[in-house]
Amino acid sequence: MTRPVAMITGGNRGIGASIATSLAARGYRLALGVRQPDKLPDAIAALDPLVVPYNAEDPVAARAFVDAVHERFGRIDVLVNNAGISDPLELMPDQRVNDEDMEATLDRLLAINIKAPFRLTRAALPHLCKVGQGRVIVLASLSGKRVLGLNAGYQMTKHAAVALSHAARRAGWDAGVRACAICPSFVATDMTLRHDLPREEITQPEDLGRLVAEIVSLPNSASVSELVVNWRYEPGL
């Protein structure tokens, strides 16, 4: 039996690495799109992935990544749009919607958090349709379901990321493609280091790895369109 293939952006650390590890344990062959292929952690290299240079801001990177995966494996079963940023210019505090210079960050947030996964989903969709059970995972955020903090640009792009997942789900539905927007609150990654949080209590990258592996393994008859993941109680979430 041919082993399925999973493409993951940003699969060399944090949430992406945990997803890669969980899918490898389920028998998936891995294709990782990363900015620095020569700096792959030993634990991820041991999974024997195809590693492709991938810069989310490069408009041609998506097509090149998909072509490289299809050339190597001849199929694509799962696409995980994981790569993303929160504070592109490392500005503190978070920029509010009424800040005059917010557009300096918004363009880059849109390029990486929305345009890049859109291009990748568009390029991979024909291959996902061919396998009859293609899966698309979009790492969105709980900031894509409600607005709690003040990082307006990030919140806007994560709302759009949820919409992208639903659009992919609709476009590929008749061909057996199912898509899910994963919407976690704070996760113990480098992205949340600047927040004063109980690191052992918040959601761990490994938690999301397990959840993604379960979702992509569900049959077409049990589609999960959105998954809200929270480490603390919020009314309605």
Query: Which positions are annotated as active-site residues?
Result: 154
Q: Which one, of 65, 73, 83, 79, lies nearest residue 23 by Cα? A: 79
User: How buried is 43 (Cβ within 10 angstroms: 0-12 exposed, 13-18 middle, 19+ buried)?
Assistant: exposed
Q: Which one, of 202, 205, 199, 192, lies nearest residue 11 by Cα? A: 205
Q: Which one, of 113, 114, 118, 123, lies nearest residue 85 by Cα? A: 113
| Chain centre distance of CA 125 | 15
Question: What is the dihedral angle through the alpha carbons of 25, 50, 60, 39, rounded to the nearest 10 degrees?
Answer: 90
Q: Which helix (H) or strand (E) holds 214?
A: helix 205-217
* Measured CA distances, 120 to 130, 136, 174 (Å): 16, 10, 20
Give the integer Cα–Cα distance in Å for 55 and 91: 22
